[in-house]
Amino acid sequence: MNILITGGAGYIGSHVAKQLLETSKHNITILDNLSTGSAKTLDTLKSIRAFKFVQIDLNAFDTVCEVLKENNIDTIIHFAASIVVPESVENPLKYYMNNTVNTTNLIRCAVANDVKRFIFSSTAAVYGEPVNLSETGIDESYETSPINPYGMSKLMSERVIQDTALAYKDFKYVIFRYFNVAGADINYIDGKLTPRIGQSFPNATHLIKIASECAVGKREKMAIFGDDFNTPDGTGVRDYLHVDDLADAHIKAIDYLVEDDSDIFNAGYGKGYSVKEVIETMKNVTCKEFQVDMAPRRAGDPATLISDNCKIKSKMNWTPKYEDLALICESAYAWEESV
């Protein structure tokens, strides 16, 4: 197959590119404007196997069409997006342009060039602030009701993809709704965990990234945003998923779409950890102490977000390998130490 990865120099896109370069013979083309993606990551990927790289923005309709045509692209895995929730509240138009408009542009190019398969990175943020949750977490039929422009820009993109697939029978999609993605490349050298790629995005706001920066000593301290939630220890509960397991789901989606119908899948482990548990785990696996302050709740944070992952496991035979919060923290720390 001829596969295009948008945002392939970014965090999740680069882990998918890595697995495809290592385990498949597919021809890979990466599109990235390098606004947040890393050129160094691309160099690391090049050391695995050759691929084509084009540095452009997805709003360049004609150039994107040319890339699809020249490389005879049949499958697109679309990651390129803006992803910072508070920023989306301050600058919603950036999110609707970069996420919804650019995805629409890419799909126009895809349809014009007979692309058969489209794999899209959506988010659990489309579920908004879930209430009346069952113990098994949120399944894909749960009502979508985003509470910020980021989640809405992704939900609108989902709709564009779905409507396109209804109108063009040869265009099939898999939409993944990611829960909390964390960790870095599981790669061992002489028995030591040595990630080659990881989260390079500057000013990241993610809990595990921030805790690993504290453990390494790049940050002096961190804060827990709220301990008055309706959760066992009062801090927010999330479903943390290793980025390599998520990457594997994308690889499975490519084959899935050859035979099966378009669908939406949650991507998470179906198990929640509180902010306090995550910080304790980071301290334990790294044997590092750092200061943790209490702070008020962050705007828009729901108390609990846990996925029901029955669908992805049964329909896609997805079997996660790194379902271990300690390993997620260890790999995030090892990456942070190396950069």
List of residues contacting ligand UD1 (CB under 6 A)? 83-85, 123-125, 179-180, 205-207, 210, 222-225, 236, 238, 275, 298, 301, 305
What span, in angstroms and rounded, lies between the C-alpha atoms of 301 and 163? Answer: 30
| Closest to ligand UD1 by CB, 47 or 203 | 203
And the tokens for 127?
């579920």
Instruction: Single out the catalytic residue among 150, 256, 269, 322.
Output: 150
- Minimum distance from CB of 222 to ligand UD1 (Å)? 5
Q: For ligand UD1, which residue has the nearest CB?
A: 236
| Closest to ligand UD1 by CB, 205 or 317 | 205
- Minimum distance from CB of 47 to ligand UD1 (Å)? 27
- Minimum distance from CB of 265 to ligand UD1 (Å)? 14
What span, in angstroms and rounded, lies between the C-alpha atoms of 107 and 188? Answer: 38
What span, in angstroms and rounded, lies between the C-alpha atoms of 235 and 232? Answer: 8
- Minimum distance from CB of 180 to ligand UD1 (Å)? 4
If one counts every other C-beta atom within 10 angstroms of the C-beta of residue 29, the result is 21
Residues 265/266/269/272 CA torsion (nearest 10 deg): -170
What span, in angstroms and rounded, lies between the C-alpha atoms of 318 and 77? Answer: 18
| Closest to ligand UD1 by CB, 168 or 225 | 225
Q: Which helix or strand (DSSP H or E) is residue 329 part of?
A: helix 325-338
| Residues 77, 103 contacting (CB under 8 angstroms) | no
Q: Is residue 150 annotated as part of the catalytic site, yes or no? A: yes
Q: Could you tell me if residue 114 is left (phi over 0), alpha (psi between -120 and 50 degrees) or otherwise beta?
A: left
| Closest to ligand UD1 by CB, 21 or 181 | 181
- Minimum distance from CB of 297 to ligand UD1 (Å)? 7
Residues 315/319/325/328 CA torsion (nearest 10 deg): -110
| Closest to ligand UD1 by CB, 20 or 83 | 83
Strands (E), the chain: 2-6, 27-31, 52-54, 75-78, 117-123, 172-178, 180-182, 188-189, 192-193, 221-225, 237-238, 240-242, 263-267, 273-274, 291-295, 304-305
Residues assigned a catalytic role: 150
